[in-house]
Amino acid sequence: MVDCKHAIHPAYQEEHQAHKQNTGDTSTIGYKYEPEPFAFRRDNSWLGVVLDPKIWRRKEQKPSSMTVLLFCFQSTVLLLLLLTMSVLLLRTSRALGLSALQRFCGLRQNRSVKSMAKSTSLRIVGGLSSAETGDWPWQASLQYNNIHRCGATLISNTWLVSAAHCFRDMKHPQKWTATFGALLKPPSLKRSVKTIIIHEEYRYPEHDYDIALVQLSQRVEFTSSIHRVCLPEPSQTFPYNIHAVITGWGALTNDGPTPNALQEATVKLIDSNTCNREEVYDGDITPRMLCAGYLEGGVDACQGDSGGPLVTPDARLMWYLVGIVSWGDECAKPNKPGVYTRVTYFRDWITSKTDI
Ligand code: ARG
């Protein structure tokens, strides 16, 4: 801040200059409001109030308080203006960044598809250990009585999509919570559940229409590490054999333990004709399903991954939800790839329930 009490008013600067020349005085001048308008300073110390009317004749010319204010505040005001402007600029850029997150779906910060080809190891049975926080920002864990049961995918600030079979005999929203972040414990965010919508056509123990929507009781604000995935158009087709990524906290081996850190694995989409072959699923694959994995086995989703995402990036590296982990014959067995709920089939159903 400008020190108004000690700023030199230009009207007196000149006079003081003259005074110094005439008398050889080496003092500097400061303008002091109180108790008198002028004071000299030598060696940086105030000598006192100048009362000599011979030198400071023009006492009556004491600048009006308005002048003083204007003079003093000129610089203050400039400074304040600059400060306000930079704060505004900062805010706008932040808002722009955030609104990009609101507007865009399927963004992964500082990630590319490169890492995808590398992770072609085995399954979530065979996956790459632990994605880091923010790697898969749409992934949620659905927990019943605080125990991880299923995966889910964030599709808006308040809605998750998951599998219907996750809620088989556990339909009370009050007992469910959703957590976000790469670790189950501790999660980076937790939300209670307000509503569970199970597809009307889903009939346990069949796997057809295995989709559910979960509404959070409080919205989540998107950040770079928590935000929504893109939903494909109903008409969108995904070519077979393209790579897609599955993520989840499911078992690392069939009947194996549940990891604390989110796992990821790369799988390939398998066309339904192949998947319906006798040695594979022998006609069990309906138009609501999609197979992904490897006929040779080794990489797959497993128990606990259900409801979680199967995603694939488009050319702009925005990630789309292609499938929802649904079922399989054990995990990662040859000729028994993972079976996923086909999201394009349910795109309009999702809109009808959520307006998304
Ligand atoms: N139904 C399992 C669950 O509730 C997921 C099955 C996925 N299995 C597979 N082999 N892809 O978690």
Q: Is the pLDDT of residue 80 over 60?
A: yes
| Centre of ligand 1 from the C-alpha of residue 286, in Å | 17
DSSP β-ladder status, 189-198 and 309-313 = unpaired
Top-confidence residue, 142 or 114: 142
Model confidence, pTM: 0.73
Active site residue 306: yes
C-beta 250 within 6 A of ligand 1:
yes
The response to whether residue 328 sits with its C-beta less than 6 Å from ligand 1 reads yes
Instruction: Give the pLDDT score at 123.
Output: 41
Average pLDDT over residues 141-166: 97
Res 121: pLDDT: 38
Verify whether ligand 1 is closer than 6 Å to residue 182 (CB atom).
no
Q: Look at 55-59, 69-73, 127-131, 164-168 and tell me which has the smallest mean pLDDT.
A: 55-59
**Alpha-carbon span 32 to 48, nearest angstrom:** 10
The answer to whether residue 242 scores a pLDDT higher than 70 is yes
2-5, long-range: CB < 8 A, 24+ apart: 2/72, 2/73, 2/75, 2/76, 2/79, 4/33, 4/68, 4/72, 4/73, 4/76, 5/31, 5/32, 5/33, 5/34
- Cα–chain center distance at 63: 56
Q: How far is the CA of 14 from the centre of ligand 1 (A)?
A: 88
Residue 160 token pair: 């998750």
Given the residues 16, 148, 165, 227, the one annotated as active site: 165
If one residue of 327, 329, 340 were mutated to test the ligand 1 pocket, choosing by the most ligand atoms within 8 A of its CB, it would be 327
Which amino acid residue places its CA nearest to atom 6 of ligand 1? Answer: 327
> 3-state DSSP helix/strand/coil percent for the chain, to nearest 5?
25, 25, 45
Q: What is the pLDDT of residues 301-324, one digit of tens each?
A: 999 999 999 999 998 889 999 999
pLDDT of 63 > 70? The answer is no
**DSSP conformational letter for 200:** T
Q: Which two tokens stand for residue 18?
A: 């003259």
107 lines ligand 1 (CB under 6 A): no
Alpha helices in 60-159 (DSSP H): 65-103, 114-118, 123-126
Q: What is the mean pLDDT of residues 89-100?
A: 75
Q: Does the active-site annotation cover 210?
A: yes
Centroid of chain to Cα 227: 5
Instruction: Give me the pLDDT at residue 6, please.
Output: 44
Select from 170, 284, 331, 335 the residue to mutate for testing ligand 1; criterion: most ligand atoms less than 8 Å from CB.
Answer: 331
Q: Has 43 been annotated as catalytic?
A: no
Summarised one tens digit per residue, pLDDT across range 16-43 is 666 667 766 655 554 443 334 444 444 4
Confirm or reject: Cβ of 337 under 6 Å from ligand 1: no
